[in-house]
Amino acid sequence: AIQESCSEKADWNLPSYKIAELLNLLEASNEVEEAKIAQFEWAFLPMLRNYRTPKILHKTLANDPEFFVEVIKWLYRAKGEDPGEITEEKRIRARLSFDLLQSWTRPPGVNSDGCVDSEKLRSWVSRARELAHANGRRDIVDIHIGQVLAHYPGDEDGAWPHRALRDLIDDLMSEKMEEGIISGIYSKRGVIIRSIYEGGAQERTISECYLNYASIMRDTWPRTARLMDNIADMHKSNANWEDRKAELDEDLIG
């Protein structure tokens, strides 16, 4: 099946849940190298979406900046690069890369127990940016780094994000990375359920939360505080839009 997965003859109707179950058994056995399981996850990635998170691939992304940048290269051309011939293999690899990056929520520098390793975070980001710069993909890499950093844990002072990430944001001053964080924060909410005529109450509460985070960081992490202000403004704008939508709905239905 793996040999055919990159061809037009691939049978995408294979029993996905059975493949996911098999991969779970292989992982639990501790008899198969993680690198081999990662190959299986990559080959069957389109079929695992509803049955198994590609945990080994996510772990590899978080531990290996070289692999992360390689995935970026499969998805995006370098700045000024000739598009060349788009083969079926390249198209499938790009789709797999997109799916993998979209599903990735385990950021670098966060151990399996949830503890933060600030040195690992810095070294991973530094190496990924170095490789991306050399390959003409600096901006897009910063955006994707920001998107996964949106999943960072909070800090013991009650504010988000953890101070290790605050230090990084203030030191790097990367607008693209901050754009990625905002995008990741927005995407994390997923499907939003609200009552009829509720308006933007949920968004307004979230906005106030980020304003509170900003006030905690203002003196020590001014760049991160500004980012929190921007996230608060985004949610406030969405709240106003939802308020107007609720008013229109009430006028039309009422």
The backbone torsions φ and ψ at residue 12, rounded to the nearest 5 degrees and listed phi first, read: -80, 5
Query: Which parts of the chain fold into alpha helices (H)?
Result: 16-29, 34-43, 45-48, 55-63, 65-75, 88-103, 118-134, 138-149, 163-172, 175-188, 201-217, 222-253
Q: Is 116 helix (H, G, I), strand (E, B) or coil?
A: strand
Residue 7 has pLDDT above 70, yes or no: no
Separation of alpha carbons 62 and 120, rounded Å? 10
The predicted-structure confidence for 143-189, as pLDDT tens digits, reads as follows: 999 999 999 999 999 999 999 999 999 999 999 999 999 999 999 88
Neighbours of 77 (CB within 10 A): 13
Share of the chain above pLDDT 70, in %: 94
For residue 75, the 8-state DSSP code is: H
**Confidence (pLDDT) at 10:** 53
For residue 204, pLDDT beyond 60: yes
For a pLDDT cut of 90, what percent of the chain falls above it? 74
If we measure between CA atoms, which residue out of 1, 58, 50, 5 comes closest to residue 27? 58
Can you give the pLDDT at residue 197? 81
